[in-house]
Amino acid sequence: MTEILGQEPVVRFFTKAIASQRLHQAYLFTGQEGVGKETTAKAIVYHLFCEFSKEDPCGACSACQRLDKGVHPDLLIVEPEKREIKIGQVRALEKELHYRPVNAEYKVVIIKSAERLNPEAGNALLKSLEEPPSYVIFFLLTVNASRLLPTIVSRCQLIRFRPISKRIIKDYLIERAALDEGFADTLAELSAGSLGRAVELAEKGLLEILHAFVSAGMSSKATSKYRILEKLAKLLPEDQKKFLELLRLWILRSYLSRKGAIDYPKGLPEALYESDPFIAERTIAICEWALDNYVNPELAFNHLMVILFNPHSF
């Protein structure tokens, strides 16, 4: 499990459990996005399914190759359709679980963003968790266990994933993403303990988009405003949400820096946010609500920009 960074207690726990063949039938992985929950669940599957070695998956056998391609019949992955996991998905999963594993000792189910199970789907899943077939192992992944049915939580063994240290994230970005030290340091600082967030900031250019948004918001040029609003509107919904998280971070760090509480990170826009951070937070929340309710993204971001940079105009 060398690919799992910064989660040594979790790695030790599952290394021992796999070696002793004492695995629970349902685990609930909880922790912020990008700290290795899905990576860990899939690494465990490789250890369980590899045809040659349970201690060190070979990566070459047919089982490992099928996992690499995402076509192994005994690994079942459930994730939200648009914004929720629906009862039809759980019903389809239940049918699959009636059949014994095809090529492995276990059938493994990974439920991503488990907090998005709607009430009907949650109640249906509970039945499978209460009396699972002996060959089934569940991994439920969530950022917020409190949003799950308490009865689901009680059926699972809770595994907490901690934020990853800045040093580990910075070293990863330098060694594996080939970033220069200064940029890697900035991304590690902004990641708030999430390696996945740091990588996304680097790969998707969200930090550059933040700079452009702030510059356009403070500019009187209409063309620069239209250009960045059009770019934001074309982002995938999940990337729009990540941009809003980054925007929140800029506003918070600006406020704390102005109060003398922290040093302002180098990679954020040079201009600090000077207006009321509480009004800004409310405005961002309204933008999120609008995006969730299918308001035209360009209009939603335009309203956000107007209020953020002209808070007394309304």
Q: What is the pLDDT of residue 179?
A: 83
Amino acid symbol at 225: K
Q: What is the pLDDT of residue 312?
A: 63
Q: What is the pLDDT of residue 311?
A: 66
Q: How far apart are CA 229 and CA 298, in angstroms?
A: 6
Q: What is the pLDDT of residue 76?
A: 97
Helix (H, G, I), strand (E, B) or coil at 16: helix
Q: What is the pLDDT of residue 231?
A: 95
Q: What is the pLDDT of residue 111?
A: 97
* Alpha carbon separation from 153 to 104, 114, 141, 144, 218 (Å, rounded): 27, 11, 11, 11, 47
SS3 string of 60-102? CCHHHHHHHHCCCCCEEEECCECCEECHHHHHHHHHHHCCCCC
Reported pTM:
0.80
Q: How far apart are CA 91 and CA 78, in angstroms?
A: 11
Q: What is the pLDDT of residue 82?
A: 77
Residues in the chain predicted with pLDDT less than 50, given as ranges, are none
Q: How far apart are CA 282 and CA 275, in angstroms?
A: 13
| DSSP string for 159-199 | EE-PPPPHHHHHHHHHHTS---HHHHHHHHHHTTT-HHHHH
Write the DSSP symbol of residue 274.
-
Q: What is the pLDDT of residue 197?
A: 86
Q: Is 22 left (phi over 0), alpha (psi -120 to 50) or beta?
A: beta
Model pLDDT for residues 36-47, shown as the tens digit of each residue: 999 999 999 999
Q: What is the pLDDT of residue 309?
A: 92
